[in-house]
Structure 1
Amino acid sequence: MALAGKKVFIVYAHQSSGSFNAAAKDAAVDVLTAKGCNVKVSDLYAMKFKAIATVEDIQGEVKDAQHFHYAEETKLAWEAGKLTADITEEQRKLTEADLIIFQFPMYWFSLPAILKGWIDRVLTLGYAFSNEKRYGQGIFKDKKAVLSFTTGSEESMFSANGINGDMNVTLWPLQNGILHYCGFQVLAPQIFWAPAHLPREANANLLLAWRTRLEGLLEEAPLTFTPMDYFDGEKGFRLKPEVQQKQSTEKFGLTVGVHLGLAVPPNNMMKAGV
């Protein structure tokens, strides 16, 4: 996929313009703009983006104020054009984009609160997913997304025998439970291991590698997730018996999250084609 003319949306979550995350975001803007992409950035902290999902996200009356259900009420509001302007503006940027880059520091093995709030408020029911349109049949199946983030711990600590545990497992709820659930083609994550503990020259090399990857990012194959037709929708979306029987003789499970008690497939959430 040629980059020229493609629309890229960067959702950026860091407080400091002097941070490594800012440098990584700036590198993406520089490289992709030079390649002819139309790049838009949502700087969540600069925008003072509201992180909490509340009834205030809906303009006008709600259907059931006494028993308020955020997902159902925002679906109705989205259908009626009654979501607040900050949400609809982010949805507009996302709808237009071919590629979405999430740039952030990993906090507590997950996302910063402001970025999680963006996900909670922007990826509303109906707009981003539904019972009929999710996973491989998801609404954003024609879009690519990538997590680009820094860690506070070095790579060895996030290994299968490291004290933090396997990074593949850490990434499963983010890449499968959020991105793939909404249908995105999820590209391998860009992980900057503990840049705060590295010398300046090493950080420069990390950024150079990111710039090199950005040159062909949209041409990369996405990560592999278990197809929906492997599951029986009439039986709680559990693996079909024939799939489970075939898989039982394999050394590794299908994915990090669907492993059937077998060994977790190495790098399933970190590299394509494993």
Structure 2
Amino acid sequence: MNILLVYAHPEPKSLNGSLKNFSVKRLEDAGHVVRVSDLYAMKWKASLDADDSMDRRSDMRFDPALDSKRAFETGRQSEDIALEQDKLRWADAVILQFPLWWFSMPAILKGWVERVYAYGFAYGVGEHSDARWGDRYGEGTMAGKRAMLIVTAGGWESHYSPRGINGPMDDVLFPIQHGILYYPGFDVLPPFVIYRTSRIDEAGFSRIRDALGQRLDDLWNTTPIPFRPQNGGAYDIPQLTLRPEVAPDQVGFAAHTG
């Protein structure tokens, strides 16, 4: 299988750097073809702006969505964006690896998403009507591909437990897993999360490596998170709210899995 690992950490000698190297070797040893987008090493431009369209007139008002759509449709996106889109088309599975900084991904990875997920490529696709509201949330360009997060966090696991001060990790990661991955169609696997990163010794790293290796070995056998597909009957369209009979006692993020 073809696997794209999008990696966002500025220090090659960090825990993240070691885990990235381990993951690549483990996957390649299993016969997979791996490509790595090391965003800091690539000096990836994080900001979505008018320069992302190669022939945009300087006197035109910049519209992030419409400019993205126009550049994608005409093949006039900046080369770095087009290359990353080609990697996504090529990949059977995508792994996003990053440290949890301020309850989200590093800005450079968010910028990768904002620029690479062009209008017409990752969103704005499919029929929009009273029967369907586009190909998204379980459908779309990435349908049939798998995705998984590898996340490191400095806090204790209990801090991210159901009653923990930081909120449940599943809720913290919901905008990424449901919004960034499931939205364009990926089957999203449960995340691999490492806690208390500053306290990991050699024995701890060995245990983490073994557990991660097993998750990578099971990449095509692991059951995805059961997010509800948008056009599968659970939601009223075009309101895009759950039908009254679906999870009637649940609200918030948890209501969208079942």
Judge same fold: TM > 0.5, yes or no: yes
1:65 counterpart (60, 66, 73): 60
Letter matched to residue 200 of structure 1: E
Which consecutive segments of 4 or more residues in structure 1 shift more than 4 A? none
Partner of 2:255: 258
1:33 and 2:28 matched: yes
Distance in 2 (CA, whole Å) between partners of 1:43 and 1:27 is 14
CA distance in 1, matches of 2:58, 2:227: 37
1:105 aligns with 2:99: yes
Separation of aligned partners in 1, 2:44 and 2:136: 26
1:167-192 Cα distance to aligned partner (Å, 9 max, x none): 11111111111111111100110101
CA offsets per residue over residues 245-270 of structure 1, 9 Å max, x none? xx33x6xx3872537xxxxxxxx6xx
User: Which residue of structure 1 aligns with residue 171 of structure 2?
Assistant: 169
Aligned length: 248
* Structure 2 runs not aligned, ≥5 long: 126-133
> What is aligned with 1:88?
82
The RMSD of aligned alpha carbons is 1.8
2:200 to 188, 192, 198: 198
Distance 1:239 1:216 in 2: 32
Partner of 2:15: 20
Question: Do the aligned partners of 1:159 and 1:167 also contact (CA within 8 Å) in 2?
Answer: yes
SS at 2:82 equivalent = helix
For residues 188 and 148 of structure 1, the distance between their equivalents in structure 2, rounded to whole angstroms, comes to: 10
Residue number in structure 2 paired with 1:207 = 209
The 1:257/1:173 distance shift into structure 2, 3 A limit, reads farther
Whether the 8 Å contact between 1:226 and 1:255 is mirrored in structure 2 is no
Distance 1:148 1:57, change over 3 A: same
Distance 1:227 1:213 in 2: 25
Q: Is the 8 A contact 2:50 2:56 kept in 1?
A: no
Comparing 48-57 with 123-132, greater Cα deviation is found at 123-132
Q: For 1:104, what is the secondary structure of its paired residue?
A: strand
1:128 counterpart (119, 122, 128) = 122
Residue matched to 1:265:
none
Distance 2:190 2:171 in 1: 14
Q: Compute the displacement of 1:64 (Å).
A: 7.9
Report the secondary structure of 1:45's partner residue: coil
* Partner AA of 2:240 in structure 1: F
Q: Which runs of 5+ in 1 are unaligned?
A: 1-5, 260-267, 269-273
Letter in 1 for 2:242: L
Given that residues 129 and 182 in structure 1 are in contact (C-alpha distance below 8 angstroms), is that contact kept between their aligned partners in structure 2? yes
Identity %: 38
TM-score, normalised with respect to structure 2: 0.91
**For 1:218 and 1:254, how far apart are their aligned partners in 2?**
31
Per-residue deviation, 1:61: 2.1
